[in-house]
Chain A
Amino acid sequence: MSTEQTAIPAENFFNQGGKGIMSWLTTTDHKRIGLLYMYSIAIFFSVAVIIGLMMRLELIAPGKTIMEANTYNKMFTLHGVIMIFLFIIPGIPAVFGNFFLPLFLGADDVAFPRLNLMSWYLYIIGALIALSTLVFGEGSADTGWTFYAPYSVKTGTNVSTSVFAAFVLGFSSILTGLNFLTTIHRMRAPGMGWFDMPLYLWSTYATSWIQILATPIIGITLLMIVAERVLGVGLFDPSLGGDPILYQHLFWIYSHPAVYIMILPAMGVISEIIPVFSRRRIFGYKAIAFSSLAIAFVGYLVWGHHMFTSGMSGPARIIFSILTFLVAIPSAIKVFNWLATLNKGSIDLQPPLLYSMGFIFLFLIGGLTGLVNGALATNTHIHDTAFIVGHFHYVMFGGTGFGFFAAMHYWFPKMYGRMYNIKRAKIAFWVTFIGFNTLYFPMFILGLQGMPRRYYDYLPEFQDWQVVSTVGSWILVTGLIMMFTNIIRGARKGKPAGDNPWNGYTMEWQTTSPPPLENFHEKPVYKEISYDK
């Protein structure tokens, strides 16, 4: 790559700002907070992957394989809660947003550094409360991550603690959004206008608005569940005079926009990576920027498609169906713009681009199967089946997950000043990619055949594809282990990578790797990017 460097610069944030665990736990440096998030997210992600692996093993044959129905129901709940609230929602914004947002802007930190540290503590507290249900009380919740009433009101398991954990985690998310929004508004480098911002910032900007505006709704809704369970207030349980459909509306008014909290940052990452590895400016910058805002806005108005079979009125179903189709368009625009950027580029197929192309392929399948879910006739058949499980794993894991991996491989040399083994990273990609498709594609077929989701046991006619799917889970985990060991080894022993190993255009590449405590050695001024390098 361009600059050969033999040593890591001594002036970097790992050395500056103190050593030892306390210097990390009390840090207000956005880069260290980003890494704190990354290490904690990696731990929770691994826990949820292991839970997923055990669920797949249980489903390899009908009847009991390794666990009882009760255990299985608790596992899919915990798997969902951890993956959604502890991995996908914070994932890219909390790790890469924290680390790179100020660097992108030429700033020395986020607007509220102490609030930023507090967000991490709220995240850890929320996570510990969620996991405490494994040890204390009447066992962890067995409701599914959606906590649908009235089952969540009636079940004897520890739902109150689980939803309280999600409530606390919501505050972490709101405060991070607030922090980023202020930073983007107030701390851009001199000369950097709104439309000079890297596209990753546009997606972060849109995400932050959703975090601030939608998260309070889920917070209060979950507290209503606690109020109903503990105080017997009749809100959602009809036997107390409540309305279970009201719960679903309130839940999805947050949780559908939350899907875009999860996917938009990943789209931002891809919009950064593709120009760098095709050596040309992104095609349709404004179209991509505005499509992020359009997704954030229209995403608010489509929650009803989660409830097409709940007995909603006919006109409501029709309106939600149309709006759902409309939200597909800004996503399609992004894909076409990425494709047009690759066209006539000078393409260097390094691991970050490979993961980005993996993202596009998997996200396409996730998005296109979403069209099946959005149409009323087809939705009626595949609603609440394995088809849905396949669909959202393609979007959330194939999309956001692979976006996270792409970001990790792209910014790794900037974060650690070292490089991982490129060849191993590519092999790990292919194993992960093949494992992913073997695991999740059969779910589409199972769903079309009529296999409902959240089934501990199933009719024998579904077994063939269940076995394929379980084998896929083993391949996928092998790929993940290869990927993470390569990354960990790179962080410890990798060759020094230099300041700008990929010839990146954006401002984070203008400082040393790893960056110094104050990010830039002298306050940078934004200059228009030249793509002629």
Chain B
Amino acid sequence: MFSNASSFVEGVDFAFFVIIGISLIFLIGITAAMIYFVIKYNKKKHPKAVPTKDNFQLEIIWTVIPTLLVLGMFYYGWVGYRPMRIIPDNAIPVKVTAKMWSWSFEYENGKWDSLLIVPVDKPVKLELFSPDVLHSLYIPAFRIKEDVVPGIANIMWFEANKTGTYNILCAEYCGQRHSYMLSKVKVLPQDEYEKWYNSKDTLAEKMMPGEIIMKKQACIACHSTDGSKLVGPSFKGLYGSKRTVLVDGVKKEIVADDEYIKNSILNPNSEVVDGFPQGIMTNYSGQISEDEIKQFIQYIKTLKND
């Protein structure tokens, strides 16, 4: 509508044009007729109403014409939509993980990013996966949207035809930080894309293994590393500190040690820090290995208070 960058845009916008155009004609016509009647047949000028005579022909006309028009609208809606369901065989597969409240994109060669990076003029297939609740991947500039449903492997595809950076938004309400579940899609020229795709992850080299796990698992969607309060407590200064937690509604003092952090990952709702919401955190057992938890704790240890 306002920015257009995929092969679907033309068909979708034409459907918009047809439907909104016909609708405007009806809206303006009916409103004008209504106002005209009220003025022309006002009781001061027209004190005696003409008795109503039913007109069967007229009834038929205004049933048949709208029927044909809406069937036309359906047709253009279908024509604009059909290509979205026909996925080319050569589409580049990207695995999308949507979880409360972040996006991550994984490529065939194991490359991973929180931005969706794609080449221009090449079909890309998104395999949608959610471990927790419903989300919906929405790229307004491409006119596409598909729900990410836990337990169901939904697929969508697109072919970007203009380089640039466009918004990705979550369109299905998913809880507290729904409106912050944003990302970007970067459409690169083919050579730049290949360079990026085949490059060693320079960012990953600088990061500790625990930090990568934290980003991949989307821990940082709820737990900051700079002390600010999001949904859950910040990781900063966490390790070794004293915390008051609720165990079955009873307050208890604990020290945030290895055992506590591990338990909070695998059994997150047994000891929630007082003042934070109960029952909101996803259970990560089966999604993270023992080794990864160790690396994760190593990283948390480095996040000391200033």
Contact = CB atoms under 8 A, between A and B. Distances in A.
A346 B27 CA distance: 24
B150 A381 contact: no
Interface string A371-384: 11011111111011
Nearest to A330: B63
B81 A376 contact: yes
Contacts, number: 264
Contacts of B145: 309, 380-381, 383-384
Interface stretch (A206-214, A215-223, A236-244): A236-244
B42 interface: yes
Given A347-B43, A450-B138, A455-B179, A281 B11 contact: no
B302 interface: no
Interface stretch (B102-110, B212-220, B251-259, B276-284): B276-284
Contacts of A70: 176, 277
B67 interface: yes
B74 A364 contact: no
Interface size class for chain A? Answer: 35 or more
B85 A314 contact: yes
Contacts of B132: 150, 154
A321 interface: yes
A311 B148 CA distance: 8
Interface string A272-283: 000000111111
Nearest to A370: B23
Given A238-B151, A342-B41, A364-B31, A151 B174 contact: yes
Given A244-B149, A347-B41, A364-B27, A375 B169 contact: no
A477 interface: no
Contacts of B41: 278, 342-347
Given A365-B27, A455-B179, A329 B67 contact: yes
Given A311-B146, A365-B27, A385 B171 contact: yes
Given A69-B177, A151-B174, A348 B43 contact: yes
B175 to A, nearest CB: 6
A78 interface: no
A185 B66 CA distance: 34
User: Which of A282, A335, A452 has its CB near the most chain B CB atoms (within 10 A)?
Assistant: A452
B52 A154 contact: no
User: Which of B43, B144, B145 has its CB near the most chain A CB atoms (within 10 A)?
Assistant: B145
Contacts of A341: 52
B170 interface: yes
Contacts of B228: none
Contacts of A285: 54
B80 A339 contact: no
Interface stretch (A106-114, A255-263, A456-464, A505-513): A456-464
B19 to A, nearest CB: 5
B233 to A, nearest CB: 16
A378 B176 contact: no
Nearest to A338: B34
B91 interface: no
Contacts of B16: 372, 377-378, 381, 448
Contact of A375 (B2, B38, B74, B134): B74
Contacts of B85: 314
Interface residues of B, number: 83
B293 interface: no
A283 B53 CA distance: 7
B149 A311 contact: yes
A40 interface: no
Contacts of A384: 136, 138, 145, 171-172
Interface in B7-26: 8, 11-12, 15-16, 19-20, 23, 26
Contacts of B152: 238, 244-245, 311
Contact of B63 (A329, A364, A459): A329
B78 A376 contact: yes
A278 B41 CA distance: 9
Interface in A318-375: 318, 321-322, 325-326, 328-329, 332-333, 335-336, 339-349, 357, 360-361, 364-365, 368-369, 371-372, 374-375
A526 B36 CA distance: 36
Given A311-B149, A364-B27, A459 B52 contact: no
B134 A244 contact: yes
A10 interface: no
B134 A154 contact: no
B196 interface: no
A325 B15 CA distance: 14
A278 B49 CA distance: 7
Contacts of A454: 173, 178-179
Contact of A378 (B26, B48, B80): B80
15 contacts: A70-B176, A150-B150, A151-B174, A239-B150, A340-B55, A345-B37, A345-B41, A346-B46, A360-B34, A372-B16, A377-B8, A377-B143, A378-B16, A381-B16, A449-B1
